[in-house]
Amino acid sequence: MRKMIYLFFSIIILPVILYSNEPKFQKSLEQEFDDVIMYYAACKKQSFENVKGHMLARKQKYASTLSSVDEIIKNCKKNNKKDEEDLFLDLKITFDFLKKKMGIAREVDLVFCDDPSLQGPCGSLMSYDLHDRMVYIHQNFWDLSPTNIVFTMIHELTHAQQHMRKGSVNFIIEGKDKAYRAQIEREADINAAQIVNCPLCLKVVLAHRLSEEALSTDHQNEKFRKLGYLTSDQLRNYLQQKSLINLCKVHKHFEDPDVWLGLDTQQGREMIDQEDYEGTIFDRVL
């Protein structure tokens, strides 16, 4: 009898207790999908079924370009592609760790997207899709250094936080306003700058941002600023708040970290970028 009570508790009751406190979206994916269809139908003065058909066709069109990172890892294991498996496994472990740390619903998935049309106007290497609750990894994603991957991942997961807080329809409505769109991008960058606790990690992000600004025209940099993203000067303010006692697992092994923090020339930034390929992505969040 005691054994039966234990089994009932562990199989039925315990999962309910554990998962009842998990972060969740306000509504199910299906409910939000219907809400979005009703909103677009009202805006376009079309029938619910007509808009639903259009949205389902769009989903089907892009489905073949999407691959879950979990599936990529399984295929790598099956085909004995050890190096590629390790890369995606490192990415997935980091993603799941950050999701838990940031209080994001487990259902938000990490997916590789092979369609450049889904990258957005800025050609971002990662993006968040609120319709499917997915963070997309885009082509050329691996051009980012491990530290910049962490920063970008936190930025996109912040959009998932915003979605959980607002709901799909409110997020879409408010996103039509340029000032609000800039606000949500700024919040995502600020959140990433605050969560990245290692000063050398944030120095790497700053070096990358400075290089981007140097390669862009004044007009492009102004457009970037108006979109809400933090400038190099603003990132430097966050860097000044970091302490060397919070070096990540990778940067703890650097000799003279305070010297690295002082490198602010183009050559110095290139040196920082080169050194940032040591260790794993997950090492940077520990």
Measured distance CA(278)–CA(284) in Å, rounded = 10
Cα-Cα-Cα-Cα torsion 99, 62, 55, 70, nearest 10 degrees, comes to: -30
Q: Is the pLDDT of residue 4 over 70?
A: no
Q: Work out the pLDDT band at 47, boundaries 50, 70, 90.
A: very high
pLDDT at 219: 85
Q: Is the pLDDT of residue 193 over 80?
A: yes
Cα angle vertex 154, ends 190, 199, to 5°? 65
pLDDT at 95: 97
Q: What is the pLDDT of residues 195-229, one digit of tens each?
A: 999 998 998 898 888 888 888 888 888 888 888 99
Read off the tokens for 20. Answer: 């009842």
pLDDT at 120: 59
Strand ranges across the sheet with 66-68: 66-68, 109-113, 134-137, 126-129
| pTM across the whole model | 0.87
Mean pLDDT of 123-151: 89
Instruction: Look over the chain and give the mean of its residue pLDDT values, rounded to a whole number.
Output: 85
Task: Give me the residue spans of the domains in the chain.
Answer: 26-64, 65-285
18-27, 109-118, 185-194 — which one is most confidently predicted on average? Answer: 185-194
Q: Work out the pLDDT band at 33, boundaries 50, 70, 90.
A: very high
Measured distance CA(244)–CA(240) in Å, rounded = 11
pLDDT at 14: 39
pLDDT at 9: 42
Q: Is the pLDDT of residue 151 over 70?
A: yes
Q: Is the pLDDT of residue 261 over 90?
A: no
Q: Is the pLDDT of residue 274 over 80?
A: no
